[in-house]
Structure 1
Amino acid sequence: MSGCGRRMVSSDPSKSIICELPTEILHRILELMPIKYAARTSTLSKQWSQSWYMLPRLVFDNLFFQYVSIGDSATRIIRKILMQHTGPILGFILFLKHTNYLISNHGIQKLTLDVANDELYTLPENIFTCVALTHLKLSRCIVKFPNGTQFPNLVSLQLEDAAIDRLKQTTLILPMLKTLELKFCDDVDYVHIVSPKLVNLSMLSSYTITFKCFNVNLIFRKIKHLCLDGTSLKNLESVPMPDRFDVSLNLQSLKICDLKISVKRIICALCLLQNSPNLIELDIDEIVKVDKTVYHTTELFDYLSKVEKEVSEALTMIRTVRLGKFKGTSTEMYLIQVILAHSPKLERMIIQHKVQKPERCNKILKELISYYRASLNAEIKYIRPIQLSVTTYWSSEIILYFNQYVESAVQIYCRICFILLYFSSVG
């Protein structure tokens, strides 16, 4: 009798394949199943039982809460699963809805808390005592950091649609943190973040962040990859100049999303670029239209024409430029012309166009090719989403659809395996 099922016959090819699957594959199969079905596999055989109790990644998502009544029932089931779990939990995803579950000490390394409520959910403070955490993502909740909170092993912190309790200023000590992402957050300035090893910083649509949450000079001197949107860039511009950048920055890549062009934002962007001698990649995800009045557009063009020296200093080391969601406006075309003319080491400019008529795309491409380039090695890669001739775009699309197809196929295969195992155990 096979060890993978009570009444499985080893001569059956499909069942033999299941028995011989590596542990990693069995874990992946269980992860793709709804957790209540994954738990049931523990009754099929000793091998499946061990796989379930050693599963390194537990997902309590919205589907889980649909199967159980809210409140104590969900808490009791999760507690029972954790009590029976014998292996290390490397990933723990908990979808909180009408649930006040207390995270226990299970050596969890990766924790995602996503609260889908009409009202923001206040996290229990004991979450901040999980010293083993290496990755923490908090979404749609109110975060109240106890003063002096320390995550000695945390390397990644993501806050999305989160609000910081602002009753008092607190200090968050993250000695190993390398990646910090703030998206749609409120009142972050009420937390003083101490993160001496920070490398990646992303601040998107954070209207209330005025960069008081950390020492700008200290943080920006260390980070290598920075992502800002137009709002965050505007807030950075409000930081007094002596306190903004008094040292050379270590930036290697800069990404700006939803950049609403204005003279003030351009000045701040140039300040970042000028103080980053190691910066080689510039990524502008989308250029939002300037103010509709002719005056503001003319003001921007006049300013850029008067600061050619500063522009040249800012772009002197740039090797790769990416422009996303390109629409072909006069402002976008002018900025491309400026970048090409002042980037002596530029190797690639990648322009991803939004859907446009082929005639319009051809006209824009013809104009782009005619622009002067300070670098003889500069290549312009113009990506048109409808054109088959652009290999890179379609390659990425094909890979995307292929990955989706493979994921669906794996899920179907998992269900077939489960059905076979179920009938073999009861048959």
Structure 2
Amino acid sequence: MACTISTDAYKIQKHNVDDIISNLPEGVLLHILSLLPTKDAVRTSILAKKWKQLWTYLSAFDFNFRHPRYDLDPRNQNNTENSLLDQKNKENSLLDLVGRLLHESYRVERLCVQIFKSVIDADKVNSLIYFAAKHKMQYLKLSLGHPDDKFVLPHSFSTFESLNELWLGLHFTLHIPSGIHFPKLKTLVVSDVTFANEKSFQRLFSGCSVLQELTLHDWSWENIMHINIAISTLRELTIRFNMLSEDIHDDMTVMIDTPNLLYLRCRCDPTIQFIPVNLTSIVDADIDLGFLYPPNELYTAKCAIELLSGLSNVKSLKLANDTLESLHHTKDTLHLLPLFDNLTHLDVYSVISAKTNEVLMNILQKTPKLEVLEIPAAVLNYLDGEDLILNSVPCCFNSSLNRLCFSNFYGNEYEIQFVTFILKNAPYLRKIDIHCSRRLIADIEKLDDVCNQFEDVCLESCVVMFHPSYYDDESSDDESDEDEAANSEVLPAAESL
């Protein structure tokens, strides 16, 4: 049956809708605009006269432009150098547009501009910073430029007196002039930057008088050999370097002089020498000294020992297996490691290799107050025939260890023996979390047998919990579907005994 709508009724309905939108309070309209992508918020200026300038009252802008190569279809014959040049001109025009929008805006508290790995005119960046500096900005994130370009950070940068958080991803060779000062900056992230020289690096950090969080991510060592991070107010430091970088070599040093540092996360090439100074307040550390090429074994071990020696006051420590690998090369000097008197939580992640087991046991001998131990597998070479060597048991097993966690448990005999040994020699143990492989979970008979063996020696005060594994490289793709089905049937939730 045909349906008709009264013209008058339609006009009334349309009029009411228009009235509802136009009569919303300005604060509500601004909140709606703040939920839109920036480009869409700006486009609302064409809706009606009331909307023309409304977007200029927004306080947060996020301009995110993809690399032009991502938009180019390799099957398109028009993807020539001229096309890339057109894209370059387009993106520089976009920077001009961002500058004009900032100039017209009444207040901008948060600004993010990302144009990934594109050739940008330095003058355009200067202009953008100039327009942004007139606002009392609290958050600024810049990710733009190309490594082949050079850029001098303009003095207008020092006028961001209200800036609280800065993400500096300028893919240039960056010159930092003297006089840069951020009196309120508490969070600084520096990524993908090539500093012109060591002075430029130091000038940036010397201007951060109240900095609390610092992240250095994949910036280039091309013009730098030695850096000194001496910031008394720093609470959190994250250092991540690209281990594929060809400009990393021996004799590069990072001095960390941060007496109030609480958290340290370090993932980088082990050939970089870290010199920790006054890390007396350190609480949490995560150390991953990985390498992709054969290193200078003795030198990397020396660097690893020096870094860990500066963390003797840490309470929670995460170590990647690569870090233990580095230490293994000079296992005869492991006695140089400090006593970790305050350490209560040790987490070793990634798969432990046979040659790093001894290193781990040496570290455990230096953790008298350890309460929680997380390891990816049993310590294989710590077995002596049928039993473990009792007089080599770390003292923390007998005095303080109350929780043990295995990341990937297969139910092999040596694993069962290791857990049984700990159950017999850790009187304060309260909980063991065992993350089982999919194959073990699917084998109900074997899982029951493991449970029974642990039950025979388990203390009444200790609970053994079985969980699905975090990861499992044992099962093939062909059997993964079957294992996942078994997983849901056998262990819908953690089992315990």
CA distance, structure 2, for counterparts of residue 368 and residue 8 of structure 1:
75
Q: Of 37, 58, 63, which residue of structure 2 is paired with 1:60? A: 63
Stretches of structure 2 that go unaligned for 5 or more consecutive residues are: 1-12, 72-86, 243-247, 378-406, 442-465, 472-497
- Are positions 1:178 and 2:217 aligned together? no
Distance 2:207 2:420 in 1: 52
Match of 1:369 in 2: 419
Q: Which residue of 2 aligns with 1:399?
A: none
Question: Deviation per CA, 1:274-321, whole angstroms, max 9, x where unpaired?
Answer: 554541011124526848xxxx95x644444xx2xx55x533321122
Residue pair 2:110, 2:137 contacting (<8 A) in 1 also: yes
Q: Computing the radius of gyration over CA atoms, which structure comes out larger, 1 or 2?
A: 2
Answer yes or no: is 1:85 the counterpart of 2:134: no
State how far apart, in whole Å, the 2-side matches of 1:126 and 1:94 are.
Answer: 21
Query: How many Å separate the matches in 1 of 2:137 and 2:372?
Result: 42
Q: Which of 166, 173, 185 is the aligned partner of 1:136?
A: 166
**Structure 1 residues 329, 193: CA separation in 2 closer, same or farther (over 3 Å shift)?**
closer
Residue 54 of structure 1 aligns to which amino acid in structure 2?
Answer: Y
Question: Distance between the aligned counterparts of 2:290 and 2:136, measured in 1?
Answer: 41
Greater relative contact order structure (CA < 8 Å, 6+ sep): 1
Q: What's the Cα RMSD here?
A: 4.5
Residues 375 and 21 (structure 1), Cα distance of their counterparts in 2 relative to 1, 3 Å cut = farther
Moved more, 57-66 or 198-207: 57-66
Q: Secondary structure at the match of 2:339?
A: helix
Q: Distance in 1 between matches of 2:226 and 2:306?
A: 26
Q: 2:319 aligns with which of 277, 284, 290?
A: 284
> Does residue 390 in structure 1 map to residue 393 in structure 2?
no
Taking a change above 3 Å as real, the CA distance of residues 117 and 273 of structure 1, as seen in their structure-2 partners, is closer
**2:32 matched residue in structure 1:** 26
Give the stretch that moved more between structures: 341-350 or 58-67: 58-67
Residues 250 and 272, structure 2, Cα contact 8 Å, conserved in 1: no
2:140 is paired with a residue whose SS is strand
2:17 corresponding residue in structure 1? 9
Matched, 1:98 2:141: no
Q: In structure 2, the residue corresponding to 1:122 is in which secondary structure?
A: strand
Provide the residue aligned with 2:267 in structure 1: 229
Cα pair distance change 1:166/1:339, threshold 3 Å: closer
Change (3 A) 1:213 1:7: farther
- For residues 436 and 251 of structure 2, what CA distance do their matches in structure 1 show? 38
In 1, Cα distance between equivalents of 2:35 and 2:98: 20
**2:314 alignment partner AA:** L
Residue identity over aligned pairs, in percent, reads 17
Q: Are residue 117 (structure 1) and residue 146 (structure 2) matched? A: yes
* 8 Å Cα contact 1:36-1:64 kept in structure 2: no
C-alpha separation in 1, matches of 2:231 and 2:108: 27
Distance in 1 (CA, whole Å) between partners of 2:138 and 2:305 is: 39
Q: Residue 397 of structure 1 aligns with which residue?
A: none
Residue 73 (1) aligns with residue 93 (2):
yes
| Residue 403 (structure 1) aligns with | none
CA distance in 1, matches of 2:426, 2:301: 21
Distance 1:146 1:385 in 2: 56
- Tell me which residue corresponds to 1:348: 372
| Aligned 8 A contact 1:349 1:379 in 2 | no
Give the TM-score normalised by structure 1: 0.66
Which amino acid letter does the alignment assign opposite residue 177 of structure 2? P
1:254 aligns with 2:285: yes
Residue ranges of structure 1 left out of the alignment (5+ in a row): 395-427
Q: How far off is 1:197 after superposition?
A: 0.8
Paired letter, 2:32: L
**CA–CA separation in structure 1 for the residues paired with 2:194 and 2:49:** 46
**What is the CA-CA distance between 1:90 and the residue it aligns to?**
2.3
Superposed displacement of residue 163, structure 1: 0.9
> Which deviations, in whole Å up to 9, do the C-alpha atoms of 1:366-395 show, x marking residues without a partner?
36525657783486645568688637959x
Change (3 A) 1:271 1:63: closer
CA distance in 2 between counterparts of 1:118 and 1:159 reads 14
Question: Does the CA contact (< 8 Å) of 2:289 and 2:320 recur in 1?
Answer: yes
Q: Report the counterpart of residue 238 of structure 2 in structure 1.
A: 202
2:147–2:194 contact (8 Å) kept in structure 1: no
- Mapped partners of 2:281, 2:48: distance in 1: 55
Q: Please report the TM-score for the alignment, with normalisation by the length of structure 2.
A: 0.58
Kindly state the Cα deviation for residue 175 of structure 1 after the two structures are TM-superposed.
0.3
Aligned-pair distance for 1:21? 10
Distance (whole Å) between structure 2 residues aligned to residue 277 and residue 11 of structure 1: 67
Secondary structure of 1:86's partner?
Answer: coil
AA of the residue aligned to 1:198? L
Deviates more, 1:263-272 or 1:37-46: 263-272
Given the alignment, which residue of 340, 345, 357 partners 1:320? Answer: 345
- In the alignment, the residues of structure 1 paired with residue 18 and residue 52 of structure 2 have an alpha-carbon distance, to the nearest angstrom, of 19
